[in-house]
Amino acid sequence: MTVPTDYVLALGLTILVEAFVVLAPRDRRGGGVLLDVVLANLLTHPLAWQLLASGRSGFLATEAGVVAVETLCYAVLGRRSVQQAFGIACAANLVTALLGLLWSLAAP
């Protein structure tokens, strides 16, 4: 099975941008936070990509599901409170969702 270049680029950029958002509050765990971001996105990004590409789920519903799953990831993996993990997941996904929308509007 061949993975499309667009998908690999989207996943890489998502992880990069969300890592900066998650690390912005100067979390002292550094590398551990990066691993949390990578694992959370490897869990959510492929399914979200497929749901949106197939039209089986709307954008807001998909993003809500992604935020829910990533909240659990950040709470469990990062040993954060659910409130803190939810805020991180919302911030990270808001930034990448907006960048994705802007990218799609700018595409020919």
- Can you tell me the mean pLDDT for 31-54? 87
Instruction: Quote the CA–CA distance of 41 and 70 in Å, as a whole number.
Output: 8
Q: What letter would DSSP give residue 56?
A: S
Q: Is 87 exposed, middle or buried (0-12, 13-18, 19+ CB in 10 A)?
A: middle
Whole-angstrom Cα distance, residue 45 to residue 42?
6
Per-residue pLDDT reduced to its tens digit, 49-79: 899 889 988 999 999 999 999 999 999 988 8
Model pTM above 0.85: no
| Mean pLDDT confidence for 16-35 | 70
Share the mean pLDDT of the chain.
85
pLDDT band at 106 (very low <50, low <70, confident <90, very high): confident
